[in-house]
A = this chain, B = another copy of it.
Amino acid sequence: MNTMGRLFRLEIFGESHGESVGIIIDGCPPGIPLAEEDFHRDIERRKGGGSGTTSRVEEDIPRVHSGVYRGFTTGSPILISFLNRDADSGPYEKLKDIPRPGHGDFTARMKYRGFNDSRGGGHLSGRITAGLTAAGVIAKKIIQPAKIEARILEIGGHKDYGSLLEKAVNEGDSLGGIIECMVKDLPAGLGEPFFDSAESLLSHIIFAIPGIKGIEFGAGFRCSIMRGSDFNDPVIDIEGRTSSNNSGGINAGITSGNPVVFRVAVRPTPSIYKVQDTVNFRTGKTEKLQLKGRHDACFCLRLPVVVESAAAAVLADLFLINRLYRD
């Protein structure tokens, strides 16, 4: 259930306040050069630290336990883990019976019958995306020369969000945002019609990132107010290039060679310092809850690299699968 992919396959593990979090990457072709430094830039991008992000800052040095030998992938499973060092489980003990609104506390309790490690969200924590980011570093190498880039489009509805963010932080509240991801120079032919459409697989992995509430490709939701004569992208050469890109580089589930473009909606961080209404499982009564601890006021700011990594993992899989269709 914690796995994704057909050939390039991911398996995640770990808990926010456990010993470590990480990932196994299976099905990675042998011979890909891989050094610890290759992870630095993306791991760094995922870290908090600036305004609007948590003061819990893990060192996050990726430890490669297997599958890499003398600087190259071997073709065997690659286990990468990140130690948890800066966890403070104190505040969570009191929350055991009080579900935080907007969090998975209630749903996890129901699903795992109370046996889950609920400290810091446990296995449901956004911290698990550290492993996904590491996998993305390898996936990006596989899909070369395709280039993938995700960036913040707006926070709280604004492209210029500095003062808005400051205000939310000061008020103990949180903000959401929109991220746009673009993949250029991807070959035509990736993805399948129907169940393994490129949109299906991309949305599948993107919604695996905690806190995403929407995704749209190309013109996206705007397509619903367009006419076919506006929406259809006119083909302009035998490479399949089109003069517009309302389809977001995907037709009938298959990439067309035009840039793949999608946007995701990120909810505001659920952990806020304002008083919230909830229910105490033990007493059965409603209760006022005020959270403490360290949280991102806008975790959306840390997500672009995670969105990139997730998308790259799916595209690497499609890239390898597509060899099936070659002569």
Contacts and interface: CB of A to CB of B under 8 A. Distances in A.
A163 to B, nearest CB: 15
Interface stretch (A9-17, A38-46, A52-60): A9-17
A229 B286 CA distance: 17
A30 to B, nearest CB: 4
Most buried by B among A193, A210, A219, A240: A193
A77 B21 CA distance: 11
B323 A225 contact: no
Interface residues of A, number: 151
A45 B103 CA distance: 38
A74 B240 contact: no
A222 B108 CA distance: 25
A238 B281 contact: yes
Contacts of A174: 227-229
A113 B224 contact: no
A267 B223 contact: yes
A136 interface: no
A277 B236 contact: yes
Contact of A189 (B21, B67, B107): B107
A155 B227 CA distance: 10
Contacts of A237: 279, 284
